[in-house]
Structure 1
Amino acid sequence: MQISGATALVTGANRGIGRHFAAQLLERGAATVYATARRPESVDLPGVRVLRLDITDPDSVAAAAQAAGDVNLLINNAGISTGVDLVGGDLDLIRREMDTHFWGTLAMIRAFAPQLAGGAILNVLSALSWSAYPGAGGYAAAKAAEWNLTNAVRLELAAQQTQVTGLLMAAVDTDMMAGYDVPKSDPAVIAKAALDGLEAGQWEILADAAAGAVKASLAADPREFYRLA
């Protein structure tokens, strides 16, 4: 995927990694960058085209696909973290996680797939696609589903030569992680690694050492990982 000259759409582009994606796409020469958010007035980045988009609302997704019919690079970045566990947590919050990360991502891909022949999709995943953490069971389950969605969609869209890439990282210094006292990556660095990997044709981008360590642990006894995590 060549970013220079591309027409990109970034979900959740009003803050965090999404805002860095939009800014760096412009810096790399993207012809048009659609920056989307549920509250379009919260997008403050010069040079982008702002669209209202709620990925959990089918009508909103359809309207975005119609308004941005020239997109050939879709970055599925929008996400939430409710801090809910699976056994004792609020089921409505667990459903919100799945509605956003799985169903919302799938809705965007289904809506934009016809125009992405020869283009690309980048799904923003997480190291929690492969692991779990107390207080993040709903998020981890939803990201695991989104990770395998990414794998399945890659196979389904191969015939139309759509590149499908997954981005995985651990904690990033964004509003979503503000309440966690853990080492965090710079979101600008994560966005750069993602766009570098996208242009290199990678299927999966491990944007930090922690994500690489989590993936490497999958071949071992899970008791070892959770003992040391």
Structure 2
Amino acid sequence: MTSLNGATVLVTGANGGIGTEFVRQALVRGAAKVYASARHPRAWGDDRIVPLTLDVTDPASIQAAAESAADVTVLINNAGASPASASLLTLPDEDIRSIMETNFFGPLNLARAFAPVLKGQEAAAMVNIHSLLSWYATAGVYSVSKAALWSATNALRLELAPEGVQVLGVHVGWVDTAMAAHTADAKLPPAVLVTRVFDGLEAGDHEVLADEASINIKAGLGAGIEELYPQLKAL
């Protein structure tokens, strides 16, 4: 288990709705410092928050962040991107590569860069934000990217657990942010998501299923492909 009291936290994608909530709640739970990272970081008006320029698709930017934030105890890989089209067959190559760079290689490269930092801390953790679409392929390349991140999280957990680093994977459906503005489906408030993530972190969990949809999808994985994707039965 990892306490946030006195922790030094780095949040990627801190300018977004979920990222902002991670910054806010980390401080509420006693974090001593929060690096709020983004490609174009904003001012926060709080001395405990350190704006940090970080492009998760740029290895040089990641390395610079690891060097300037060498006191991090909790890394939160929150930054993500969603394509305009889900199709693996028609989406341009550059768009597919861009999504994979942001949603998979970005968090993986951050994990690689910050692993030596985290290993040196007394209580350290890494949080990776997946999606229920890690298990449900209806979002095409987005699902592929999140499935890859989920698998990487499992592998990183096995490598880092002996080093005393907690690795927490988070699955969630729609969250009420700009990325989900196009849908009228039920959405989890960012504050509820972050509360559940931090509760899981402090409880020592390996995985958080943040909403009912994620719980249901995971429960259905063993039922068979046609049960998971009923549209196949019609064919």
Q: Provide TM-score, normalisation by structure 1.
A: 0.95
- Is the contact between residue 76 and residue 123 of structure 1 (CA under 8 Å) also seen in structure 2? yes
Change (3 A) 1:66 1:217: same
- Is the contact between residue 23 and residue 45 of structure 1 (CA under 8 Å) also seen in structure 2? no
For the pair 1:212 / 2:208, whether they are aligned, the reply is: no
Give CA deviations for 1:145-199 in whole Å, capped at 9, x if unaligned.
0000000000111221110000101100111111122111101100100000011
**Aligned partner of 2:126 among 115, 118, 121:** 121
Matches of 2:137 and 2:97 in 1, distance apart? 17
**Aligned partner of 2:202 among 184, 196, 199:** 199
Aligned to 1:17: 18
Aligned to 2:5: 4
Give CA deviations for 1:109-146 in whole Å, capped at 9, x if unaligned.
0110011124100000000000022xx21110000000
- Is the contact between residue 83 and residue 139 of structure 1 (CA under 8 Å) also seen in structure 2? no
Output the amino acid matched with 2:208: I
Of the structure 1 ranges 146-155 and 180-189, higher mean CA displacement relative to structure 2 is found in 180-189
Aligned to 1:145: 148
Matches of 2:99 and 2:44 in 1, distance apart? 26
Of the structure 1 ranges 84-93 and 166-175, higher mean CA displacement relative to structure 2 is found in 84-93
SS class of match (2:21): helix
Aligned to 2:136: 131
For the pair 1:156 / 2:159, whether they are aligned, the reply is: yes
SS class of match (1:121): strand
Structure 1 residue ranges (4+ consecutive) displaced by more than 6 angstroms after TM superposition: none
* C-alpha RMSD over aligned residues: 1.2
- Is the contact between residue 71 and residue 115 of structure 1 (CA under 8 Å) also seen in structure 2? yes
How many aligned residue pairs are there? 225
Matches of 2:183 and 2:68 in 1, distance apart? 38
- Is the contact between residue 9 and residue 35 of structure 1 (CA under 8 Å) also seen in structure 2? yes
Post-superposition offset of 1:94 = 1.0
Post-superposition offset of 1:45 = 6.2
